[in-house]
Structure 1
Amino acid sequence: MKILATSILLLICIYSCRGQTKGITPMHKFFQKYADSTIIIEYDTDSYEPHPYRIISRAGKSVNTFSYEPIDNSWKTLSSSKKNFPTQLWYELLSRKTLYKNRQADINIFFNLVEINPDTSLRIWKDISKFKPWQLLDDKSYPECSNIAIDAGYSIMHLITKKEIKTLIYYAPYYYEEQCPGNKNRQGIVGIERLFEKNFPKLPNLW
């Protein structure tokens, strides 16, 4: 009975977590069209703010790295100057200035090349490939751990090929790997995320 209750709780976390990803965006479809295979790590936020992404993509023999960081703090100056504007004008300016927060990720001013040595980029790709990302399953396939994490973070990975875009979502994989070690799928996402963290510039404080 305890195992059954635990499984139900974890499944609730998993399916509610599916609302945490921003889903398939124009950026994903761009890479599906123009690259052979792409791995995108999406970083969940604590609010409705836009998500940052880290990307590694292979086309032919070339491996390239990118980031999508929706940063625009200029609206804060406008926000703090409310007393200097008529109410309606200030509201309309601010609402238009922050429209970018509602836009899906795309190839725009927030999308940038991450300059990593080509040999290093290829090594990163090979290191990621050791975890066999296209064979990984996410949490909906194995509610196995009896120690439940409450209000923990999510790990989100998108796997893109010409044929499909596959999204894997893991709830608190670092915690569960520590509490219930040995799951190859959780080990995979933890290992892949750590490679991104190690080799990509640190994500800025977006907001």
Structure 2
Amino acid sequence: MKYKITFVLIFNFFSLSILAQVKNSAMPLERFFKSNADSTIIIHYESNWGIKPTYFILSKKGDTINTYTYITHMKSDRRNVLPHNLAYRLYQNTLVEADINPYFNTKYLSADSLKAFWNEVSVLKAWYINDDQIDGVGCAVDKNDFKNQIFDASNIKLTLITKRGIKQLSFYAPQYYEKEVCPGRVGRQVIIKIENLFNAYFKQEW
């Protein structure tokens, strides 16, 4: 019985630790919108190619809709030769966690465009789709599938935020797998539509 009690206590402590990690894993930017908006959608990309953190944000509080960007591109004249330590420090500055800081900016869209953007995204019901964490990356594997796998593309990350919580979805190369290899997965179809909408409304920023 002593061992069982010890095991239960350890298991409960471990479970609480996991829950705490999940709760605290959100970026400061995500936590800000959780506290200060009713509903927020953030899209960004991750890859092994060193893509700088760039976030495109659609957010609503009450009846007010806004769009924002978070872009950490270093702007410098390539003809300048910077001292190594200075160049490295500037690079390090781009690696800070996304937050409300000088990299965060508002993106102007007309009131009609904001309303249309929000409605077009909302109708896709992104909260209810499965991502690659549930459905799996790529396609169902059989003996002929490995030739169609790719390993140098990027992940589309979609973050959904409300007062109740933060949900993070991840899709690896959805355009490729949906259009070239194994079409028909609903989650991929939805993220492609959402990406296309963000492309259209943020077109000056991409």
Does TM-score exceed 0.5, indicating one fold? yes
Q: Check the 8 A contact 1:75/1:97 in 2, yes or no.
A: no
- Between 1 and 2, higher relative CO (CA 8 Å, sep ≥ 6) is seen in 1
Distance 2:77 2:28 in 1: 25
Counterpart among 98, 103, 113 of residue 105 in structure 1:
98
2:115 corresponds in structure 1 to: 122
Q: Check the 8 A contact 1:40/1:157 in 2, yes or no.
A: yes
Range with greater deviation from structure 2 (191-200 or 96-105): 96-105
Deviation (angstroms), 1:107: 1.2
> Is 1:92 the counterpart of 2:85 in the alignment?
yes
Distance 1:45 1:52 in 2: 12
Distance 1:184 1:40 in 2: 20
Deviation (angstroms), 1:94: 2.7
- Residue 46 of structure 2 aligns to a residue in which SS? coil
1:159 corresponds in structure 2 to: 160
Q: Check the 8 A contact 2:47/2:155 in 1, yes or no.
A: no
Q: Report the TM-score when normalising by structure 2.
A: 0.76
Where do residues 46-85 of structure 1 align in structure 2 (5 Å cutoff)? Answer: 46-74=48-76, 76=78, 80-81=81-82
Q: Check the 8 A contact 2:54/2:69 in 1, yes or no.
A: yes
Distance 2:140 2:204 in 1: 31
- Quickly say closer, same or farther: Cα 1:157–1:138, change in 2 above 3 A: same
Distance 2:102 2:199 in 1: 23
Instruction: State, as a whole percentage, how many aligned pairs show the same letter.
Output: 35
Deviation (angstroms), 1:101: 2.1
- Residue 59 of structure 2 aligns to a residue in which SS? strand
Number of positions where the alignment pairs a residue of Structure 1 with one of Structure 2: 173
1:42 corresponds in structure 2 to: 44
Distance 2:92 2:42 in 1: 24
Distance 1:62 1:128 in 2: 16
Question: Which structure 1 segments of 5+ residues have no match?
Answer: 1-22, 82-89
1:137 corresponds in structure 2 to: 130
Counterpart among 27, 30, 37 of residue 29 in structure 2:
27
The CA RMSD measured in Å over matched residues stands at 2.1
Distance 1:149 1:114 in 2: 37
Q: Check the 8 A contact 1:149/1:175 in 2, yes or no.
A: no
2:19 corresponds in structure 1 to: none
Q: Report the TM-score when normalising by structure 1.
A: 0.75
Counterpart code for 1:185: G
- Residue 74 of structure 1 aligns to a residue in which SS? coil
- Quickly say closer, same or farther: Cα 1:104–1:75, change in 2 above 3 A: farther
1:149 corresponds in structure 2 to: 149
- Quickly say closer, same or farther: Cα 1:77–1:164, change in 2 above 3 A: farther
Deviation (angstroms), 1:181: 1.9
Q: Check the 8 A contact 1:27/1:106 in 2, yes or no.
A: yes
Range with greater deviation from structure 2 (184-193 or 136-145): 136-145
Counterpart code for 1:140: Q
Deviation (angstroms), 1:95: 2.9
